[in-house]
Amino acid sequence: MAEFTLPPNSRIDKHAGKHHAAAAGATRPRTFRVYRFDPASGQRPRVDSYELDMATCGPMVLDALLKIKNEVDPTLSLRRSCREGICGSCAMNINGVNTLACTQSCADLGGGEVRIYPLPHLPVVKDLVADLSNFYAQYAAVKPWLQARTPVSPDRERLQSKEDQEKIDRPSACILCACCSTSCPSYWWNGDRYLGPAALLAAYRWIVDSRDEATGERLDALNDPFRLYRCHTIMNCTEACPKDLNPARAIADIKRMMLERTH
C-alpha cells in the first residue's frame, strides 16, 4: 500500500495564526487569510488573518496583498512585477484556484473571506513565494529556442506564412506563471521526471514552428514514459491557465505526432 507523508514542518499550526483587525472606522471590512511560512525559522506554517477596509483598497487581490505589506505587516513575502497579467510573477492559489493575483478581482470571489496560499506542491521559499527552480529547469530542457541549420542571408529574416504564424500565436502567449503545472496531479507526484504542461506547451510551440528544423530531435527527446506520457488528460492545466491557453490540447497533439511517426 502506498504511504504518503508530508515533509517535516509542513502541517499548518492552527493555533499560531495572528489576527490583524481592521482600522477604526472601516466601512467595508473583508478578511484575507494568508499562508505564512519561513523555513529558516524552524516553526510550522500558520495562516494569518487580515481585516482590510475595501473602501480604501484597490479591486484586485494583489492590491489587497500590497496593502497588507505596506500598511499592516511588512514581513509578508510575495512576488509581483507587472500588475498587468503579463509577467506571471504573482501566481498563487486563491480560494483553491491557481491564478494571478493581479488579475483576480476581489469582487469575483464572492463576499466571504479570501484564502491565499502559494502555488501547491512546490517547496516554499517564504510565505507566498514558491521555489520554481525545477519548473524553469524543465522549461530549459525542451530547448525553447529556434533550431535551424539552413543558413540565411544576414539581411533577411526567416519568413513564414500567416497560417503558420497562427499555429504558434497562442502557445507563444504562455507567461510561465506555473499555474497549469502546479494544478496537475501527475506533476504533483512525478514533478522530478514529468515535464508538466507548461514545458510541454513550450515544446509544442517549437515543434509546430515552420521555421524550426529540429522537429525529429524534439520528438525524440520527449518520447519517454515520464517526460510526456505521465499526462492523463485530467485537463486541470487548461482550466487553470489565466491566459486561456490549452496545454492539454498541445500535449494531445504531441502524442498524435508520436503515433504518426510509427506508421
pLDDT digits (tens, 9 = 90+) for 66-91: 999 999 999 999 999 999 999 999 99
- Specify the pTM: 0.93
pLDDT value at residue 4: 63
Residue 6: pLDDT above 90? Answer: no
> Are 183 and 199 members of one domain?
yes
**Residue 9 falls inside a structural domain:** no
- Convert the pLDDT of each residue in 147-156 to its tens digit: 999 888 888 8
CA 81 to chain centroid: 15
Provide the 3-class DSSP secondary structure of residue 205.
helix
> Are 118 and 141 members of one domain?
no
> Are 124 and 234 members of one domain?
no
> Are 181 and 202 members of one domain?
yes
**Residue 7 falls inside a structural domain:** no
> Are 192 and 104 members of one domain?
no
Alpha-carbon torsion angle 129, 134, 139, 142, nearest 10: 180
> Are 52 and 168 members of one domain?
no
Report how many helices (DSSP H) and strands (DSSP E) the chain contains, helices first. 8, 8
124 CB-contact burial (10 Å; exposed 0-12 / middle 13-18 / buried 19+) = buried
> Are 113 and 177 members of one domain?
no
Domain count, the chain: 2
> Are 74 and 183 members of one domain?
no
> Are 97 and 138 members of one domain?
no
Contact between 169 and 219 under an 8 Å Cβ cutoff? The reply is: no
Residue 246: CB atoms within 10 Å: 18
Domain at 137, CATH number: 1.10.1060.10
> Are 178 and 111 members of one domain?
no
> Are 137 and 244 members of one domain?
yes
**Residue 6 falls inside a structural domain:** no
> Are 35 and 47 members of one domain?
yes
Helix axes 196-207, 133-141, angle to 10 degrees: 20
Give the residue numbers spanning the domain of 112.
Answer: 19-130
- Convert the pLDDT of each residue in 120-136 to its tens digit: 999 999 999 999 999 99
Domain at 75, CATH number: 3.10.20.30
